[in-house]
Structure 1
Amino acid sequence: MKKAVLLVILRVAKLAGLFGLARRLTARDLRILCYHGAALRDEHHFRPSLFMSKETFAARMDFLHRQGYPVITLDAAVDGLPQGDWPRGATVVTIDDGWFGTYRQMQPALGARGFPATLYIASYYFDRQTQVFNVAANYVLWRAGSQLLDLAQVAEALSGRYELADAGQRAAAWRCLDDFAETLENAEARQALFRRLCGVLGLDAGEIERERICAFMGIEEARELQASGIDIQLHSHRHRFPAESFEAARAEIEDNRRALAPVGNPALRHFCYPSGDYEAGQLAWLGRLGIASATTTDRGFTRAGDSPYELRRFLDSEEISSLEFEAEMSGFFELIRRGGYAI
């Protein structure tokens, strides 16, 4: 359905009182929101599905406060899951990955409204404190505008000339870079490649590094968030949850716990599947790993008695209008989904 048509339908539904009816019908269900990064400069224009402007995030939190949605901790939500023992309209705010923008832009909005949240940190780049190469390289290719990129100038092992104004060619250049970066031995080598790419494009890598664009927060910032009511939790170490064996999955979780231990949260018991990827056979592993809950990227509300290891969420983003957000929070979209219709 085209977005313009959808928005017209939503306006009519809201005026007809269907949002209010949906909220009453779904009041006993749990709403879990999912966010990722917050833009420090212009990242929400580069990748609006991943980065949100601080203004949009603040507006979302204002909406929850103004409309009286009680924002509760994930601990309280999971403890109440067997019987659905939550306030009416209970909402949990979750944030994935660990971007520096979460610390700089999202925490003030949450703190100003007294909202708790859960932050799932994938700890490899949290440890390394370099740019996240695959995202940062894509970002600078986008920033470069209409340049012609010769990859041979970036690294001897690369070749190909790409018109970066063309989205298809830009994506192809990024894939070449990312594939090559995966062959490098560590994050520091990938950071050196990132700096060479910036140099070829005429961009200031030092400025991007100082502003911490496309980079994760560090231990001290995570400690501040934990102290402020943002609960630091597990998202794997290398942003993957291997399905090939329990031992491989356990290594990811153990490395994640080890990296996050200095933050000071002794109860690292909640997990978010990286990219929402998991297999049914892995669910039985989570209890053995000391994990009490796991969130997915499947859209929907959580109901009493649902599995704590397949908690559904709504992935909010800069691409979603305020009216669509209201339709989701009210339960209007949820009731449509339960009727078997895709949105």
Structure 2
Amino acid sequence: MAIQPAAVEYGAADPAERGESGGSGTHDSEDAGAAGHARSGRVGAAGRVIRPIRLFALHLARTLGLFSLAGRLTSGDLRILCYHGAALADEHKFRPGLFITEATFRRRLQILAAGNYPVLSLGEALRHLDEGSLPARATVITIDDGWYGTYSIMGPALREAQLPATLYIATYYLEKCTQVFNVAAGYILWRAAPQTLDLNTVGSGLQGVFDLARGEARERAVKVLEAWGDTREATDRQRLLQALCQVVGVNWVEIETTRQLQFMTSVEAQRLGAEGVSLQLHTHRHRFPRERSLAEQEIVDNRQSLGRLSAEPAVHFCYPSGQYSPEQIPWLKELGVRSGVTTKRGLVRSSSDRFTLPRLLDFETMTELEFEAEISGFNDLLHRMLP
């Protein structure tokens, strides 16, 4: 009943560290393929017509007590919430599926408390699920990636509410302490005033003229920039972002000083770990290749990096962009991984495969009504009845 966001694919690692150019080459996630409107936060004309009808139907369902009924019927299922980053400025307007405001996040935590949804750590919740002792309406909070806003905004909110959470970190970006290139490029073009951009004026080796007033043109420009960045070092990509800002009239110093579109540092991640946030696997370079040796190296590198941040074993995994293929799951098991979460929507039942766990993706444009429909289990029951 709610519009779901797509997971984001990040720019390449440095060529010497990348190993290959590209992700897994496969997917098993309905959200990973919905990149069109969700990555930019746009909703098509059909969505603008249908959504008010959906919201009215949800309001009626809640009024009739169907949310409450769904909560009772699904009380034995596990709810795994999925977040990404917190907006430091206006990033939630740029990608509401990726960045959420502090006010929205804190309000979600209040709804969990008011609705008697006990929040457990992921490890504890899965143990209870295995033992058949899961508390009613048990909930887990997971956060993907490692954005700075997770540290500066979500961390304090969780600490004040005394709630545990799991943070899946793509450690390459944490170690480099630079903006995530393709996300930052998209944001800069989104922030720019309507104009015609000739990429040749930004840097050598770039070509193409784009009308920045058109979202589709901005996306094509980002693709060109991303392809350029795939063969450059992190320092080169940072210089290009600075040049791009200068050409289109966006304040690069503001982006840098506020740490927008940047991951937290290793020290900051360490602090979150010391405060009870579980630091877990998301691959090192935010990619899970089809070639086994490269995929395993991603886990090994990720785990080594996390081991320098926390003494807690890194045994839980989040597929980058929700993408995976079945033959990769045995590789994870052999590496000692105990669970894998996806971007599939739904609640976790005792019979759910522990390596393809669904989650409830929350995002800025989801109303409280839609959030309650998700967390109560109403949407999950509806999807089961109307696949």
Bin for the TM-score computed over the shorter chain: over 0.9
Hey, what does 2:331 align to over in structure 1? 285
Q: 2:263 aligns with which of 175, 192, 216?
A: 216
Q: Is the 8 A contact 2:279 2:310 kept in 1?
A: no
Q: Does 1:123 align with 2:181?
A: no
Could you say what secondary structure the match of 2:280 adopts?
A: strand
Q: Is the 8 A contact 2:362 2:371 kept in 1?
A: yes
**RMSD (Å) for aligned C-alpha atoms:** 1.2
Q: Does 1:27 align with 2:94?
A: no
Task: State how far apart, in whole Å, the 1-side matches of 2:385 and 2:339 are.
Answer: 27
Q: Is the 8 A contact 1:121 1:236 kept in 2?
A: yes
Hey, what does 1:265 align to over in structure 2? 311
Q: Is the 8 A contact 2:278 2:312 kept in 1?
A: no
Q: What is the letter of the counterpart of residue 192 of structure 2?
A: A
Q: Is the 8 A contact 1:81 1:305 kept in 2?
A: no
1:280-312 C-alpha deviation (Å, 9 max, x unpaired) = 111111121111111111111111132211111
Q: 2:63 aligns with which of 10, 15, 22?
A: 15
What does residue range 244-259 of structure 1 map to in structure 2 within 5 Å? 244-245=291-292, 247-259=293-305
Hey, what does 1:37 align to over in structure 2? 85
Cα deviation for residue 329 of structure 1 reads 0.8
Q: Is the 8 A contact 1:36 1:96 kept in 2?
A: yes
Hey, what does 2:140 align to over in structure 1? 92
Q: Is the 8 A contact 1:82 1:306 kept in 2?
A: no
Task: State how far apart, in whole Å, the 2-side matches of 1:219 and 1:171 are.
Answer: 31
Cα deviation for residue 100 of structure 1 reads 0.2
Q: Is the 8 A contact 1:236 1:256 kept in 2?
A: yes
Cα deviation for residue 204 of structure 1 reads 2.6
Q: What is the letter of the counterpart of residue 231 of structure 1?
A: S
TM superposition score normalised by structure 2: 0.85
Task: State how far apart, in whole Å, the 2-side matches of 1:206 and 1:188 are.
Answer: 16
- Identical positions, percent: 49
Q: Is the 8 A contact 1:272 1:295 kept in 2?
A: yes
Hey, what does 2:156 align to over in structure 1? 108
Give the total of aligned pairs.
Answer: 339
**Which ranges of structure 1 fall in alignment gaps of 5 or more residues?**
none
Q: Is the 8 A contact 1:31 1:89 kept in 2?
A: yes
Q: What is the letter of the counterpart of residue 275 of structure 2?
A: S
Q: What is the letter of the counterpart of residue 150 of structure 1?
A: D
Q: Does 1:311 align with 2:357?
A: yes
Q: Which moved more, 1:235-244 or 1:131-140?
A: 235-244
Cα deviation for residue 193 of structure 1 reads 1.1
Q: What is the letter of the counterpart of residue 23 of structure 1?
A: G
Q: Does 1:236 align with 2:283?
A: yes
**Which ranges of structure 2 fall in alignment gaps of 5 or more residues?**
1-46
Hey, what does 2:369 align to over in structure 1? 323
